[in-house]
Structure 1
């Protein structure tokens, strides 16, 4: 196993993408209850963009290997792991460590990838897919006939949200820059240019009675506008703070402010609800329950892919050794879908 050699990308500190480093080493060996995955695809998400700025609210100390999720083949199994798992294609949500040719994870954390689903396609739907599924079905409980707003409808999570919402029978209003509007219309989405001024007023014109759900990754001061778009009984799901990506100061403060707003709104005597979504919520309290929910929800997303309800939106495929180019491309805001790294 060690003859293969390990290749991983290291984030040494607060650097521009070109400051990423490539490190070589020995392939790790699995410990008890662990597997080693030979990575076939990993991706660039908003989390890594924040991490390189030191802005992700619970990132580890520098230096570390970024990479929120991955898809690959089990190369080796540790003591106590079913030996038959070796050779299986699996997905894993790891938060950090995914930008590597080989990754060691707990066997209980891997999710089988269905036969016939290519690694890069599956990778686009790991963190993005489970995030979209859980926000749509576990938090907002969107049903046929609902009207929802998806901010960043062309992005990694947003593009999956749009498709899952349409598959659920919802009407979708999607915010995006004008160059993505034709693609959104082709999916049955009503596009709104977020750069054209008074975004909330233009959305209210499309849904005068309010909407049933808003999915907001932007955060910042604009979150209040999202809350005001809700109809009675509506749900706001906040899942990021893209507006403060380049801000200085505490990396926890933007998230804490969002949490405070959510608590305040939910304490008011009204029929609307707000959530701050975190894919890792509940893991510390019950790891088994967290794993079961993750496995079940990601399996549902992969099934939606196989049924054609969701398509894998791959913005670009680049070698792992070109992680700097991939990160720069993902941060450019010019692509639709997810930038995928292929070790």
Structure 2
């Protein structure tokens, strides 16, 4: 690729939303910061869309494993346009809409990122629609196809089927030809039925019996985001060769203990089930697994896998196989209200909560 010296010698003023410590959403602080010109291998991205995910709710409580020390800027992913690049970066990237998985830093109007971490968004896909599929689409696609390897004709159980990850996962599973049973609040059942899901109320005291009625022999795969009693139930609902994929411990969000005291028992439980004399399999999905250190061979392989999978998911969106599910939109400066909605039991919309700088 042709390289460019299209760097900028002037600074850019970015608005960022800072998480100063373990605070309520109202404690988030918008600040302004001068960004320097991009250095070697970097790109300056003007953010068009970012979002609220479960991670931010956990981080503000200090309960996301591996989060940075306070204060920091949250924001697990973003979509934006490349406005400047540093030495060694292809000039063709300038002006392109890109997506990035950041873990933190996305709640800003502009960011400096390694150009190697950017994935181009296909023409015809808007920034908000693309944003719904970065962390959520990658998580759903990789759990379904890389972890559980779900096949046409199989039956899968998705807990939290109306959530950010769940609403993508059920669409991908249906596209793969799987039958989908999804747990969700009753207010979301009609929308889930439109997606081809057989919904079950997660608050039903006879939840296990209801799912057993739908899948008497058990499900081929279960995807659980709650942990605790829910992950045990999901495992029991597998058929004799089923696969369980756990990907969060949302049930422990409000716990006050150190996060490892909830996380390690879950990993031990999954490992124990794999050593049990059955043909079932259980695993924990981590979107950052295998990332390695920056500039390592592992990091390059991780980037290649991420780019391949996300590009495929974007293609499904462009082709109409997937529908972007947007629960609500807020200006970036109203991130506190967006986070409050994400954590509210009164939330009525299905999908992702978007922040628009």
Q: TM-score, normalised by structure 2?
A: 0.94
Provide the residue aligned with 1:244 in structure 2: 252
Provide the residue aligned with 1:150 in structure 2: 158
Provide the residue aligned with 1:182 in structure 2: 190
Alpha-carbon separation, structure 2, partners of 1:131 and 1:208: 28
Alpha-carbon separation, structure 2, partners of 1:195 and 1:139: 28
Partner SS for 1:309: coil
Q: Is the Cα–Cα contact under 8 Å of residues 133 and 161 in structure 1 kept in the other structure?
A: yes
- The alpha-carbon deviation at position 242 of structure 1 amounts to 0.7
**Greater Cα shift, 280-289 or 157-166:** 280-289
Q: Is the Cα–Cα contact under 8 Å of residues 81 and 107 in structure 1 kept in the other structure?
A: yes
Q: Are residues 1:324 and 2:323 paired?
A: no
Provide the residue aligned with 1:299 in structure 2: 311
Residue pairs, 1:66-105, within 5 angstroms: 66-105=74-113
- The alpha-carbon deviation at position 201 of structure 1 amounts to 2.0
Alpha-carbon separation, structure 2, partners of 1:180 and 1:237: 23
Q: Are residues 1:169 and 2:177 paired?
A: yes
Q: Is the Cα–Cα contact under 8 Å of residues 28 and 102 in structure 1 kept in the other structure?
A: no
Provide the residue aligned with 2:51 in structure 1: 43
Q: Are residues 1:125 and 2:133 paired?
A: yes
- The alpha-carbon deviation at position 3 of structure 1 amounts to 6.6
Q: Is the Cα–Cα contact under 8 Å of residues 28 and 103 in structure 1 kept in the other structure?
A: no
Alpha-carbon separation, structure 1, partners of 2:134 and 2:71: 25
Q: Is the Cα–Cα contact under 8 Å of residues 28 and 36 in structure 1 kept in the other structure?
A: no
Alpha-carbon separation, structure 2, partners of 1:207 and 1:318: 40
- The alpha-carbon deviation at position 81 of structure 1 amounts to 0.7
Cα distance change of structure 1 residues 323 and 28 upon mapping to structure 2, 3 Å threshold = farther
The number of aligned residues is 343
- Unaligned 5+ runs, structure 2: 1-7
- The alpha-carbon deviation at position 31 of structure 1 amounts to 1.7
- The alpha-carbon deviation at position 256 of structure 1 amounts to 1.3
Partner SS for 1:96: coil
One of 232, 237, 252 as aligned partner of 1:224 = 232
Provide the residue aligned with 1:198 in structure 2: 206
Q: Is the Cα–Cα contact under 8 Å of residues 224 and 230 in structure 2 kept in the other structure?
A: no
Alpha-carbon separation, structure 1, partners of 2:36 and 2:62: 27
Partner SS for 1:26: strand
What does the per-residue CA deviation read over 1:156-207, in whole Å, with 9 as the maximum and x for residues that have no partner?
0000000000000100000000000011111111000011113222111110
Alpha-carbon separation, structure 2, partners of 1:283 and 1:3: 31
Provide the residue aligned with 1:115 in structure 2: 123
* Runs of 4+ with deviation above 3 angstroms: 1-4
Alpha-carbon separation, structure 2, partners of 1:284 and 1:202: 42
Q: Is the Cα–Cα contact under 8 Å of residues 66 and 98 in structure 1 kept in the other structure?
A: yes
Alpha-carbon separation, structure 2, partners of 1:50 and 1:39: 23
Q: Are residues 1:309 and 2:316 paired?
A: no
Alpha-carbon separation, structure 1, partners of 2:322 and 2:205: 31
Alpha-carbon separation, structure 2, partners of 1:115 and 1:261: 44
- The alpha-carbon deviation at position 260 of structure 1 amounts to 0.9
Provide the residue aligned with 1:283 in structure 2: 291
Alpha-carbon separation, structure 1, partners of 2:66 and 2:256: 16
